[in-house]
Amino acid sequence: MTARRVRVALGARAYDVRVGAGALAGLPAWLRGGSRRAFVVSDEALVAARGKVRRALTQAGWRVDELPVCAGERLKDMGSVYPLYGRLLELGADRHSVLFALGGGTVGDAAGFVASTYMRGIRWVSLPTTLLAQLDSGVGGKTGINHEVGKNLIGSFHQPSLVVCDTDLLATLDDRDVVSGLGEAIKIGLVYDPRFCAYLVRHLAGFLARDARVLNRAIVASVAWKARAVARDEHDRSGEREALNFGHTFGHALEAETRYRGHRHGEAVIWGMRFALALSQVRGVLASREGARLDELLASLPVPPLPRSGSKLLSHVKRDKKARDGRVRFVLLKRPGRVLLDDGVTAGDLEAAWTLLQERTDG
Ligand SMILES: NC(=O)c1ccc[n+]([C@@H]2O[C@H](COP(=O)([O-])OP(=O)(O)OC[C@H]3O[C@@H](n4cnc5c(N)ncnc54)[C@H](O)[C@@H]3O)[C@@H](O)[C@H]2O)c1
Ligand SMILES: [Zn+2]
């Protein structure tokens, strides 16, 4: 087993991300020092992966307790995470215990949040199992749960001490979760790296067919960009990390509007990016030919349709957590690799972008 290493350079809180086929087997070797008491919060559907983690840790002398959970947005809820604190107390987890989050982005976000608040914060290790989580959400220490008003409104920054992306796990993913991961990968390309974006476009078919080389390369490139943004702007203050919200204002609104049942997160982000491209054109920062070209690329991906009525979606957008002084801050695209943050978007701009997006989907 060879695993690529990407470092998240955060001084005293720096950590490694390991990416490779069979990487879970290396887990104990990368976890030196500290307590060997493990609590594995895992997606209950991932029986085989849970076995791999348990065996790897117990063989290295760890004592392991498992806390299976039901994945999905319903897990990112106060009512669902609250019992986890009780289980940890019952099982004797203390301040030195290590929590492992084995699952997709929902398990990572929720378990990371529990780790960040249990006894004022304990160590945690991120073991992402979906493509989306391996190339995006598993890295960077944003943890949290949803509120009925909107997504990710309750949370914290709490960096893991290690991330292990075992690409063997991706074989069992649903096709829709592959598209969903592709959505976040394209986002990273559009925001930071036109060459990576072009690579994804060239290898779209290979990506969707889960060609191991393409997926591996996409994960390593995405993680490297994310690691860089996190190292420079850990707490989302300078705008560098905020750029990763490209497509997310509308995407989150779509997820909330369809009660997290209509679209996978990355699918909603694909729609969100199409909306953000339209808005970038409306705001005059993106040339219309380039906007149309990029929209065509996103439109070629198999994603469930939008609800017909835009009015509720747009009111969700306006309520988004990025709203400041009644205005919503948007990440707009100038061209691949160049984004800007725009505080000046008006209700009229949103309507115009919606109209343009509808023309594109009808045409
Ligand atoms: N913290 C961050 O920085 C960040 C970034 C992006 C997204 N997110 C969050 O991530 C979440 C979406 O993550 P997700 O798409 O991984 O969702 P998810 O955790 O719901 O996983 C999607 C589906 O895949 C299944 N699954 C997981 N691993 C599998 C495997 N190896 N084989 C087969 N099936 C498997 C799950 O059971 C689930 O049904 C959203 O809540 C989003 O807000 C967070
Ligand atoms: Zn996302």
Interval 101-147: pLDDT, tens: 999 999 999 999 999 999 999 999 999 999 999 999 999 999 999 99
- Residue 308 to residues 4, 167, 305: CA-CA distances in angstroms? 44, 37, 9
Q: Residue 316: pLDDT band by 50, 70, 90 thresholds?
A: confident
- Whether residue 281 is predicted with pLDDT greater than 90 in this model: the reply is yes
Task: Answer whether 313 contacts ligand 1 (Cβ < 6 A).
Answer: no
Task: Answer whether 172 contacts ligand 1 (Cβ < 6 A).
Answer: yes
Nearest ligand for residue 41 CA? 1
- Whether residue 89 is predicted with pLDDT greater than 80 in this model: the reply is yes
Task: Answer whether 129 contacts ligand 1 (Cβ < 6 A).
Answer: yes
Burial 272-289 (b: 16+ CB within 10 A, else e): bbbbbbbbbbbbebbeee
Q: Looking at residues 245-274, what average pLDDT do you find?
A: 93
* Tens digit of each residue's pLDDT (9 = 90 or more) over 297-315: 999 999 999 987 777 888 8
- Whether residue 320 is predicted with pLDDT greater than 70 in this model: the reply is no
DSSP assignment, residue 79? H
Q: Whose CA is nearest to atom 22 of ligand 1?
A: 104
Task: Compute the mean pLDDT over every residue in the chain, rounded to the nearest whole number.
Answer: 95
Q: Whose CA is nearest to atom 18 of ligand 1?
A: 104
- What the block records as the tokens of 318 is 């306006």
Q: Could you give the CA distance from residue 77 to residue 148 in angstroms, rounded to a whole number?
A: 9
Task: Answer whether 109 contacts ligand 1 (Cβ < 6 A).
Answer: yes
Task: Answer whether 106 contacts ligand 1 (Cβ < 6 A).
Answer: yes
Task: Answer whether 133 contacts ligand 1 (Cβ < 6 A).
Answer: yes
Q: Could you give the CA distance from residue 115 to residue 123 in angstroms, rounded to a whole number?
A: 7
DSSP, collapsed to helix, strand or coil, labels residue 241 as: coil
- Give 13's contacts (C-beta < 8 A, 6+ positions apart): 159
Task: Answer whether 107 contacts ligand 1 (Cβ < 6 A).
Answer: yes
- What the block records as the tokens of 105 is 């982005």
Strands (E), 94-220: 98-103, 123-128, 142-147, 150-157, 162-166
Atom of ligand 1 nearest to the CA of 43: 37
Q: Looking at residues 67-88, what average pLDDT do you find?
A: 97
Q: Whose CA is nearest to atom 11 of ligand 1?
A: 105
Q: Residue 363: pLDDT band by 50, 70, 90 thresholds?
A: low
State the pLDDT at residue 327. 65
Q: CA Rg, the chain, in Å? A: 20
Task: Answer whether 352 contacts ligand 1 (Cβ < 6 A).
Answer: no
- Whether residue 2 is predicted with pLDDT greater than 90 in this model: the reply is no
State the pLDDT at residue 257. 86
- What the block records as the tokens of 83 is 């019992």
Strands (E), 34-161: 37-43, 63-69, 98-103, 123-128, 142-147, 150-157
Distance (angstroms) between ligand 1 centre and the Cα of 88 equals 23
* Tens digit of each residue's pLDDT (9 = 90 or more) over 184-229: 999 999 999 999 999 999 999 999 999 999 999 999 999 999 999 9
The answer to whether 333 and 277 have CB atoms below 8 angstroms apart is yes
Q: End-to-end alpha-carbon separation of the chain, Å?
A: 48
The answer to whether 190 and 294 have CB atoms below 8 angstroms apart is yes
Rounded to an integer, what is the distance from CA 344 to the centroid of its chain? 27
Task: Answer whether 105 contacts ligand 1 (Cβ < 6 A).
Answer: yes
Q: Could you give the CA distance from residue 244 to residue 105 in angstroms, rounded to a whole number?
A: 15
Q: Whose CA is nearest to atom 2 of ligand 1?
A: 137
Q: Could you give the CA distance from residue 54 to residue 65 in angstroms, rounded to a whole number?
A: 9
Nearest ligand for residue 152 CA? 1
Task: Answer whether 132 contacts ligand 1 (Cβ < 6 A).
Answer: yes
Atom of ligand 1 nearest to the CA of 152: 43
* Tens digit of each residue's pLDDT (9 = 90 or more) over 20-64: 999 999 999 999 888 999 999 999 999 999 999 999 999 999 999
Distance (angstroms) between ligand 1 centre and the Cα of 355 equals 31
State the pLDDT at residue 241. 92
